Structure 1
Amino acid sequence: MRVAQRSMYNSFVSNMNRTLANYMESNIQSSSQKKVNRPSDDPVGMVRVLNYRSAIARNEQYESNTNDAAAWLRSTDSALTQAQVILSSLQEKAEELATGTLTSENRKQASHEIRQLFEQLVNIANTQYGDEHLFAGHKTGTTPYQIGLAVTATNATIDPADPNKDKAPVWEVSGSSDTTVMVRFPTGGELGTDEVEYEYSTDGGETWVTKTLPAGGTELDLDGVTVKVPQEPRVTVEAYDPDKPTARDNGSMLFIREAAYYNGDDNDPEPKVDSYGSSVITSTSAKGNFDKDVRIRLDEDAFANTDGTVKYSYSTDNGITWQTATATTHAGDGKIRLNVPGGYLDVTPGAAGTLAAGQQFVVRPQRANQGLEIAEGEFLTVTNAGKDIFGGLYTPPDGRGPVAAMDGSAKNIFETVSEFLVWAETGVQAGSQEALANLKTASEGLLTSLAAVGGKEQRAELNLNILEGSRFDMEDRMSTIEDVDLTELVTKLAQQQMAYQSVLQSSSMIMQLNLMSFL
């Protein structure tokens, strides 16, 4: 066979390029330590590698969120533990004051310490993680508690004929005082209507100042503190008996005391309901305990004013999956009740009483708690509504108030400690005895909150272990697809280097041979 010089040189170049290309490919793998560097290297493998990288990135974000949540919870745990120590100290003080063996000077000393402990509790309730408050709900940039003045009234009554008798009287207090201010009444009457004489003391009842609230007057002037008396309903006070010792049950008394006012978020408002569709809706109302948004979709036309059934679906994962259900309608009801996890939704259609298929609703709970996503669709709550732990006074959604959180129960730490301070500063021994029992109840409530936080901390720790294990597993599986075997690669590089050198050397030798070399 005749071999032309052109054909020979083309073959040399082709062999050198092919051998060099293989050598360079191994060199690239050596540089990157990966055998899949381009989609063309392994199309299926590259898809799997990209999927793993995406999953690992999500996993790492969940790990970061879990670590952040754990840090929030550790701060919360620390704050509540400090509060528990303070409550234990207050119980010891209550035991001392309840015995009645302390002198007046000892009582004053104890009351000074109680006031400081109360204010330290407020500082703990205002604890921050970074720049965000732990006990303000979603309002992490708002200081949850501030100290003000409030009124505790004893033996004050409301006229049964008062049209506002079912409302709680609201006392508005302005000014400041370093001690509890006691107010008693030499003459009785309806505040804001009758002329009423009153006396006040700022030294625990040792000395009294007498003043008069004129008929139609609305404010008690206590020299630095002003108390606006309730208007709806009006309050009637009883005169005290001067022949009996000053006591809570001797006539009506007011105690103007230090109190903690809550400014953060709460979970009290009813869930909001958003409606989407062409149907005319008169009203919607959701009731229950919802921990996440619930989407509801009518799967067929619904008739609120006839006996029958209607099929609908609901989703608790933002529409990813749906569950079907059936509701019953009744003639004359005018509304349709749709039961969903956590509660129900009542829908009142327009005058026609009809809801079209495809009409959707979203129940959005008013959540004060802020959570971090620690797994797909799983959130760990890290903030708290302070009023549900520490209590205090707050203004509810209906605007009335301020009122005592926790329905005024002894679990309301701030109100319990505040009233204990009142009895300590005014020398009411029976009040200190009551405070001892109430402080124990408050402490038990706080321990429950601590246990809840501890459970979340444990969940965060377990979740982190799971995430780390999952990440290691995915990284290992991805490595088997894209990472190169170094031992194999080094051997391969040596072989390809030798092959390339052989091609170069043999090609050079052959190209040097021609007829002129033998003439």
Structure 2
Amino acid sequence: MRVSTSQIFNQGIQQFQNLNAQQARTQEQVATGKEVLRPSDDPVASTRIVQLKDDLARSEQYQDTLDMTQTRLEREDGALSSYTDALARTRELMVQAGSGSLSESDRESIAQELRQVKDQMVSIANTQGPEGEFLFAGFQGGEKPFGEDVSGNIEYRGDSGERSVQIDDGVTLKVNDNGRETFEAIDSDRPTFNTRADSGNGGSGRISTGVVTDREAFESFYPDDLVVAFEENGGDTQYTVKSEKTGEEFITDEDYTSGSPIEVNGMRFEVSGEPEGGDSFRVETGDQQSIFGTMEKMIEGLETHPNTPEGREALEDTIDQGLANLQNAEDRATEIQSGVGTRLNTVETTQEFLKDSDLLAEETLSDLEDVDYAEAISRLTQQNFTLQAAQQSFAQISRLSLFDAL
């Protein structure tokens, strides 16, 4: 078979290109530390590498979410611990207030401290999370959940929502407890009532929390509600108190005096300020009472029940109900805090699981992707030697000629 000079040169060039490509690939592997440089090198390994990197990226996002969730839950746990401490102090003050030997000034001192504790509870209920969101606002995390209404009573402005986040594939975790369940919807030991001003009122009238002065009369009226309606009559402001259900009037066209006690069906409350004609207030009976309502009734009872046998009996009823409602609030707080602790345990367990999964994924990724430096450098040395030998051989062959044999 004849071998032309052009064939010799073409084969030599092709061989050099192949050897240079192999050497360049090995040099790139050593430089990058990666065995698989492009999908065509190993399609199966390349697919697995992409999957592992996606898993690690997703795990990193979950870890960030878990870190934020842990901080949020720890802050809620701390808030609930402070809340239970405040409840314990409230209990001490309520027991102290039950002493029959207290003077008017003693009662006033206890009432003042109860107000301070209540303000502390409001501050706790408005605790913010690590991103500035209000922990107990439900879905309304951007708005302060607890504040005073037009009557100065503490009202809840959040909702019943409970936010959740995804902490792993197919796993979600609740990250907050709403304020209604935590502080508002507390079962009352016995029937109670709450007061509020209608949202459409145009005047500056305010209604107090009120207290039960006659338990038997109140419970015979329960579960009906009262409406306190104001009207202008000849330049005078008058009010009427009637049943919400039946319309029966218990007080009719009474001249209004700011701060004067209104006593109806075993309940006593006050309207102060300057209500306008058409304004109205609601006295709503029920079987639930917020912790703030419990505090306010205790404070109002200490400040308004006279130091008489009848007054002391009414105060005793207020204290007894307050202590029972306080126990219900403590039970609710303990239940919620226990749930927070369980979720914190879930966070820690998931964090450890993800770390272990990441370690295994990184080891597998390294096995598939990382170059064996000892093998690669040895191969590079061999390829360099082979290239040099090929170059020398080609140099010798290219100088051969038939004219040398003549």
What is the TM-score when the length of structure 1 is the normalising length?
0.53
2:135, 2:355 → 1: CA distance?
27
Identity of aligned residues (%): 27
Alpha-carbon shift at residue 83 of structure 1 (Å): 1.0
Aligned to 1:146: 147
Aligned to 1:260: none
Can you list the C-alpha shifts for 1:259-310, whole angstroms capped at 9, x where unaligned? xxxxxxxxxxxxxxxxxxxxxxxxxxxxxxxxxxxxxxxxxxxxxxxxxxxx
Are positions 1:137 and 2:138 aligned together?
yes
What is the TM-score when the length of structure 2 is the normalising length?
0.66
Are positions 1:409 and 2:288 aligned together?
yes
Aligned to 2:341: 454
1:194, 1:502 → 2: CA distance?
111
Secondary structure of the residue aligned to 1:128 is: coil
Secondary structure of the residue aligned to 2:45 is: helix
Matching residue within 372, 384, 387 for 1:497? 384
Alignment of 1:246-257 (within 5 A): 252-255=267-270
Mapped contact 2:77–2:337 kept (Cα < 8 A): yes
Q: Which runs of 4+ in 1 moved over 6 A?
A: 176-184, 190-195, 246-251, 400-404, 515-519
Mapped contact 2:195–2:210 kept (Cα < 8 A): no
Aligned to 2:166: none
Aligned to 2:325: 438
Alignment of 1:348-427 (within 5 A): 408-409=287-288, 412-427=290-305
AA paired with 1:424? L
Aligned to 2:244: 232
Closer, same or farther: CA 442–19 of 1 in aligned 2, 3 Å: same
Closer, same or farther: CA 176–22 of 1 in aligned 2, 3 Å: farther
Closer, same or farther: CA 435–170 of 1 in aligned 2, 3 Å: closer
1:419, 1:193 → 2: CA distance?
23
State how many pairs are aligned: 322
Are positions 1:77 and 2:77 aligned together?
yes
Aligned to 1:30: 30
2:15, 2:227 → 1: CA distance?
110
AA paired with 1:146? G
Matching residue within 367, 370, 375 for 1:483? 370
1:36, 1:438 → 2: CA distance?
69
Alpha-carbon shift at residue 247 of structure 1 (Å): 12
Closer, same or farther: CA 193–426 of 1 in aligned 2, 3 Å: closer
Mapped contact 1:29–1:484 kept (Cα < 8 A): yes
Aligned to 1:366: none
1:178, 1:250 → 2: CA distance?
17
Closer, same or farther: CA 176–23 of 1 in aligned 2, 3 Å: farther
Aligned to 1:162: none
Alignment of 1:496-515 (within 5 A): 496-511=383-398
Alpha-carbon shift at residue 73 of structure 1 (Å): 1.2
Mapped contact 2:196–2:207 kept (Cα < 8 A): no
Alignment of 1:182-221 (within 5 A): none
Closer, same or farther: CA 181–44 of 1 in aligned 2, 3 Å: closer
Alpha-carbon shift at residue 515 of structure 1 (Å): 7.5
AA paired with 1:88? A
2:298, 2:361 → 1: CA distance?
58
Alpha-carbon shift at residue 191 of structure 1 (Å): 7.8
2:132, 2:79 → 1: CA distance?
16
Alignment of 1:211-360 (within 5 A): 232-233=244-245, 234=247, 236=250, 252-255=267-270
Can you list the C-alpha shifts for 1:325-366, whole angstroms capped at 9, x where unaligned? xxxxxxxxxxxxxxxxxxxxxxxxxxxxxxxxxxxxxxxxxx
Alpha-carbon shift at residue 21 of structure 1 (Å): 0.6
2:382, 2:356 → 1: CA distance?
39
Closer, same or farther: CA 232–252 of 1 in aligned 2, 3 Å: closer
Can you list the C-alpha shifts for 1:361-386, whole angstroms capped at 9, x where unaligned? xxxxxxxxxxxxxxxxxxxxxxxxxx
Can you list the C-alpha shifts for 1:116-160, whole angstroms capped at 9, x where unaligned? 221221121111212311111111122211123379xxxxxxxxx
Aligned to 2:59: 59
Alpha-carbon shift at residue 115 of structure 1 (Å): 1.0
Q: Which has the higher helix share?
A: 2
Gaps of 5+ in 2: 154-192, 214-225, 255-260, 273-280, 306-311
Mapped contact 1:79–1:124 kept (Cα < 8 A): yes
Are positions 1:172 and 2:172 aligned together?
no
Mapped contact 1:91–1:439 kept (Cα < 8 A): yes
AA paired with 2:244? E
Alpha-carbon shift at residue 512 of structure 1 (Å): 5.1
Mapped contact 2:212–2:266 kept (Cα < 8 A): no
Alpha-carbon shift at residue 24 of structure 1 (Å): 0.8
After alignment, is 443-452 or 130-139 more displaced? Answer: 130-139
2:82, 2:337 → 1: CA distance?
11
2:38, 2:282 → 1: CA distance?
68
Mapped contact 1:170–1:230 kept (Cα < 8 A): no
Aligned to 2:128: 128
2:24, 2:284 → 1: CA distance?
78
Secondary structure of the residue aligned to 2:331 is: helix
2:85, 2:194 → 1: CA distance?
35
2:84, 2:229 → 1: CA distance?
46
Alpha-carbon shift at residue 501 of structure 1 (Å): 2.7
AA paired with 1:253? R
Closer, same or farther: CA 249–485 of 1 in aligned 2, 3 Å: same
Alpha-carbon shift at residue 181 of structure 1 (Å): 8.0
